[in-house]
């Protein structure tokens, strides 16, 4: 609750809690900083992820009182895999069995919205007459109005209107659905690009 009052997003809080739980599974006693350091070393992940674990524990100590000399980890910046437009279209088409995911991916492609912004999109934010969507910002971005294609407008209007939100699903659930579909498509097409 304290983190919520300090303005942390639910997704940030959930991510930090998951990391702390993982450290505990690796033998960390959260009230013993040295055991936390040992658990962080045991994490089978990148230095960037370990840096996030240090941040999560810093937050824990701020919340429950305590001090430590945190280990230093630095994330290594890598160039991202950037698929071609044809590959993106192929990926979206490969998700045809899940109309909601297909529309979600098309929305991201056309607008450049963040996943969280798209998941929070409400039906009242979609103007089908003018083919625009109003975006409620997250993570320091700005509110904006973005044009969408007739194709995307048709995809969105075909979705069931069972809740206030267009997609009616959390970012985590959408990410898992996407990961499953992407993996199936990568196996079917025998391409490594979709697995990155």
Give me the pLDDT at residue 69, please.
94
In 3D space, the residue among 19, 13, 15, 11 whose CA is nearest the CA of residue 1 turns out to be 13
SS3 133: strand
pLDDT along the chain (196 residues), means of 10: 76 88 94 95 91 92 89 86 88 88 96 92 96 88 93 96 92 87 79 54
Give me the pLDDT at residue 1, please.
63
Give me the pLDDT at residue 149, please.
97
Q: Evaluate if pTM is beyond 0.75.
A: no
Whole-angstrom Cα distance, residue 147 to residue 154? 14
Chain-centroid distance of CA 87 in Å reads 21
* Domains in the chain with CATH codes: 2-64 (no CATH), 85-195 (1.10.443.10)
CA distance to 12, 83, 125, per residue, from 139 (Å) = 11, 25, 19
Within a 10 A sphere around the Cβ of 129, how many other Cβ atoms? 6
Chain-centroid distance of CA 185 in Å reads 20
């Amino acid at each position: 609750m304290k983190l919520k009052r300090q303005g942390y997003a639910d997704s940030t809080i959930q991510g930090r809690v998951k990391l702390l739980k993982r450290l505990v599974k690796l033998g960390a006693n959260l009230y013993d900083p040295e055991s936390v350091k040992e658990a962080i070393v045991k994490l089978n992940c990148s230095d960037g992820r370990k840096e996030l674990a240090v941040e999560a524990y810093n937050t824990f100590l701020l919340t429950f009182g305590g001090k430590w000399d945190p280990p230093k980890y630095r994330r290594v910046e890598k160039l991202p895999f950037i698929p071609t437009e044809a590959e993106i279209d192929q990926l979206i088409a490969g998700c045809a069995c899940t109309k909601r995911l297909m529309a979600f991916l098309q929305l991201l492609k056309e607008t450049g919205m963040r996943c969280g912004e798209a998941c929070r999109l409400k039906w009242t934010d979609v103007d089908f007459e003018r083919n625009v969507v109003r975006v409620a910002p997250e993570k320091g971005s700005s509110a904006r109005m973005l044009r969408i294609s007739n194709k995307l407008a048709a995809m969105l209007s075909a979705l069931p209107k069972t809740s206030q939100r267009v997609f009616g699903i959390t970012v985590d659930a959408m990410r898992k659905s996407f990961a499953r579909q992407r993996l199936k498509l990568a196996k079917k097409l025998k391409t490594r690009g979709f697995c990155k």
